[in-house]
């Protein structure tokens, strides 16, 4: 079984939480851990430190700290790739073209406010989980 970090970002954590969680469960993921957290600026800057030189970095930190997010550890065979598949491409306009049933195609407002996060590979999954949940036994 593989583990990944999923985040329902602040634009969707209230309005679409139940719909997104029911899709996650229907797709056969186990939700091993779940918590609601409002990221501080320091946490958001750290979480997205690989983007610190991008023009959108400050808007990304503003967005990620504007309200609570739902943090989840999802567990399943091939969880990392399958969750990335379910969320769709970063830009919802592209998501509507290539993956019209993806979460971003259905719910995202813009390339910035794009509803969900998923770790991109095994190293990021471990780092993301450690950062948000500390040492957990999975
Ligand atoms: P995430 O890491 O959140 O799962 P991702 O791996 O699909 O998303 P990245 O390219 O790592 O996308 O970008 C991280 C986040 O930064 C995006 O999810 C989005 O919220 C924001 N972002 C990415 N590109 C842009 C952009 N060109 N303009 C504004 N915001 C952007």
For residue 76, the domain's CATH number is 3.30.70.141
Please indicate, yes or no, if residue 84 is contained in any of the structural domains. yes
pLDDT bin (cut points 50, 70, 90) of residue 110 is very high
Quick count: other Cβ atoms within 10 Å of Cβ 113?
Answer: 17
Q: Is 7 in the pocket of ligand 1 (CB under 6 A)?
A: no
Half-sphere exposure of residue 120, counting CA atoms within 13 Å on the CB side? 4
User: Is 124 considered catalytic here?
Assistant: no
**Which DSSP symbol is given to 1?**
-
Q: 23 — alpha (psi -120 to 50), left (phi > 0) or beta? A: alpha
Q: Whose CA is nearest to atom 30 of ligand 1?
A: 112
Containing structural domain, residue 126: 2-133
ipTM over 0.90: yes
Residue among 1, 2, 7, 17 at smallest CA distance from 128: 7
The string of pLDDT tens digits covering residues 13-36 is 999 999 999 999 999 999 999 999
Please indicate, yes or no, if residue 100 is contained in any of the structural domains. yes
């Amino acid at each position: 079984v593989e583990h990944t970090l999923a985040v329902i970002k602040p634009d969707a954590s209230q309005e679409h939480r139940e719909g997104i969680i029911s899709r996650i469960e229907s797709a056969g993921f186990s939700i091993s851990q779940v918590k609601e957290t409002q990221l501080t600026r320091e946490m958001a800057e750290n979480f997205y430190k690989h983007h610190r030189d991008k023009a959108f970095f400050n808007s990304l930190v503003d967005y990620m700290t504007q309200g609570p997010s739902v943090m989840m550890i999802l567990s399943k065979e091939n969880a990392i790739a399958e969750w990335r598949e379910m969320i769709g491409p970063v830009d919802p306009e592209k998501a509507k073209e290539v993956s019209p049933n993806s979460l971003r195609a259905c719910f995202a407002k813009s390339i910035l406010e794009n509803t969900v996060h998923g770790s991109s590979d095994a190293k990021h999954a471990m780092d993301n989980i450690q950062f948000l949940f500390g040492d957990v036994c999975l």
